[in-house]
Structure 1
Amino acid sequence: MRSLICPRCGATHELTGRKRGERFPCSCGQELVTPAPRLSTGKVVALVLAVLVGLPLLVMAGGALVFWWRVRQVPPASDSAFRVDAAQNVALGDEARVNVIALCDAVQMYRAENGVFLVAGPTPREVPRGGQAVPFPHDEAFEKLGFAPGTAVRLQYQVEVREDPVGEPEVICYARGDRDGDGQNSVYSVTLDANGMTSPIQVEREDE
């Protein structure tokens, strides 16, 4: 049974039947207001548990929605590499520099795990002309290296292994392109020595 004690005279008033916020006078003249009913301990516990359980579920649902939206924005896998490059207006030279470094890193990681340098390419067999993307064909050596420049590429890639002047193995990683389609190739290369040290990128005929 709910009750309210007058702060002036200490008289007790039963609140049964009175609405929340209802004003009424005490016999001493003090105006009293019916307070909101208090939650029982059980209801408080239930409310806290609902918040603790419901909040993580709400966050997870929001994350799933964001993930779904981002997946919808990804182009189809069949030509995603070409679409990304086109959308970002990536220069052929920038693409070559990034990928030739990645290729030499992959060669070094393979050697660290298997003890040998692996020859690969040239792939595609012909250098793409005019900066146009062509399918990147299946190549077992590149797959072993874990080098995947995309389903469509604008450059030819190769890993060549030879001996340096003192007889140690040396790797040269190549990316070749023909931006203007005149048959003269731009060549980007990085040399990897037996100690795992890489040279700066060497560029020949970048404007071709």
Structure 2
Amino acid sequence: MTGTDIAGLLDLAGIFVFAVSGALAAVRQRLDVVGVVVLAEMTALGGGIVRDLVIGAVPPAAFTSLGYVLVPPAAAALVFFWHPQVARIMPAVLLFDAAGLGLFCATGTLKALEYGLSPLHAALLGVITAIGGGILRDMMSGQIPAVLYDRELYAVPAMLGAAVVAVATAAGLHGAGVIAGAAVLAFVLRVLAMRYRWRAPLPRGVTGPPPPDPRDLRD
């Protein structure tokens, strides 16, 4: 198995766990089967579609790869029929979600660089690749996007991972090692934030608890 094959499998794994996240959000909002599938699709593919449209990689990869088409509905079906069991293993799902975040911010930045964007703009697009689907999920399910109150740091790890790829590439460093290092950095920071409940700082003088995390809500 080549490095490209491994990267492709990791990409599909990230799409799967993001789709599970979207489908679970739909279940919590008591949406029907159409809503479950739509939220799964948008969460898994939304960020990548936005990236590809911005850089002119059309049609987007989501519409040219059979795996991209089949994996989100498979995740939606899993959640639709067995959502209580899936919800019970959420800690494991969140670990894979953190891995997907790290992978997508790194590969999204690299693809933007390959299409000629500057390091700064490529890093921005890498962050959008990683968090864009989650923003669409929250907006479509009637929630404040979680990245706007960044509990347990979600956007910040993506920013750091994307920045590492952009800076390394600008310095002439390339290869799988750069992508892996950036992805691991984002993954570790995200896991530590979940473990120790880190969050982005509030404006000066603002106190009080953050908005409730939709994942904390139970029927």
TM-score (norm 1): 0.31
Higher relative contact order (CA 8 A, sep 6+): 2
Larger radius of gyration: 1
Q: Which has the higher helix share?
A: 2
